[in-house]
Amino acid sequence: MTASRSGPAGADLILGGMPARVILLTGPSGSGKSRLAAEAGLPVLRLDDFYKEAGDPTLPVLAGGHGVDWDSPDAWNAEAAVAAIAGLCAAGRTDTPVYDISRSAVTGHRVLDLAGAPLFVAEGIFAAEITAVCAERGLLADALCLSRGAGRTFRRRLLRDLREGRKAPHVLLLRGWRLLQAEPSIVARAVGRGAHACGKREALVRIAAAARASVAG
């Protein structure tokens, strides 16, 4: 997979040795992160590809021990995600896993190439967990939390997950209800870790501003 970006300015920045930077995009599952990232017109790193695989002994379990808690940050390999972001910022390309959520397994790998772009989006429900480390390492351009209303997000998430067959229907319904109730705390946690909560329109405005600044700088 090769990401493209028009115009020579971004290429000049990479070739001149100036590192790229990342916009972290988080938000509740089903809030529209992937669609927004695609609309932004920047290369996209899918952070959900860094989920741990089924059978990993470090996976967290739900209260009562009934299955894996895939909505816990402990179900995700933050260290590998940061390494991929750092690689993109330093070299403009990196090898990333391809994760199949329905199988809870890595099914392949892909090369993400920024093609000279000085800015990219890394999106996923756990993106805010790495805001501090990305900022400390000089990788961060912005951190956003997409928040569009718990009811709307519940409907979007359930329809998407059923359509894609991510898990058994009863699992998706129970998970969706749990996340509906937890959404305010999910957004608050992201904000507490440095992300700016906003709707789609504001997010696109901030991403465009960061893109202009990256070229001008």
pLDDT at residue 146 tops 80: yes
What number is the average pLDDT over the span 85-92? 96
Which of 4-8, 72-76, 100-104 holds the top average pLDDT?
A: 72-76
Mean of per-residue pLDDT scores for the chain:
87
Tell me if 172 is assigned to some domain: yes
Q: From CA 148, how far away is CA 145, in angstroms rounded?
A: 10
Q: Is residue 21 part of a domain?
A: yes
Check: CB of residue 24 under 8 Å from CB of residue 119: no
Domains in the chain, number? 1
User: How does residue 175 score in pLDDT terms, banded at 50, 70 and 90?
Assistant: confident
Indicate the SS3 state at residue 33: helix
Structure tokens at 178: 């749990």
The 3-class secondary structure across 170-212, one letter per residue, is HHHHHHHHHHHHHHHHHHHHHHHCCCEEECHHHHHHHHHHHHH
Q: Is residue 1 part of a domain?
A: no
Judged against a pLDDT cut of 70, whether residue 110 lies above it is answered with yes
In a domain, 180, yes or no: yes
Number of Cβ within 10 Å of residue 209's Cβ equals: 12
Could you tell me if residue 25 is inside a domain?
yes
What's the confidence (pLDDT) of residue 15? Answer: 36
Q: Which amino acid is at 15?
A: L
Q: Is 164 a member of any domain?
A: yes
Structural domain containing residue 15: 9-216
Q: pTM for this one?
A: 0.82
CATH number, domain containing residue 128: 3.40.50.300
Q: What is the pLDDT of residue 120?
A: 98
Percent of the chain with pLDDT over 70: 90
Distance between CA atoms of residues 184 and 197, nearest Å = 11
Q: Is the pLDDT of residue 196 over 50?
A: yes
Task: Give me the amino acid identity at 88.
Answer: L
H or E segment to which residue 25 belongs: strand 21-26
Whether 212 maps to a domain, the answer reads yes
Residues 27-83 have pLDDT tens digits of 988 788 999 999 999 999 999 999 999 999 999 998 877 789 998 999 999 999 999
Crossing angle, helix 169-192 and helix 150-164, to 10 degrees? 130
Quick count: other Cβ atoms within 10 Å of Cβ 186? 22
Inside any domain, residue 59: yes
Window from 68-82, 83-97, 140-154, 197-211 with minimum mean pLDDT? 140-154
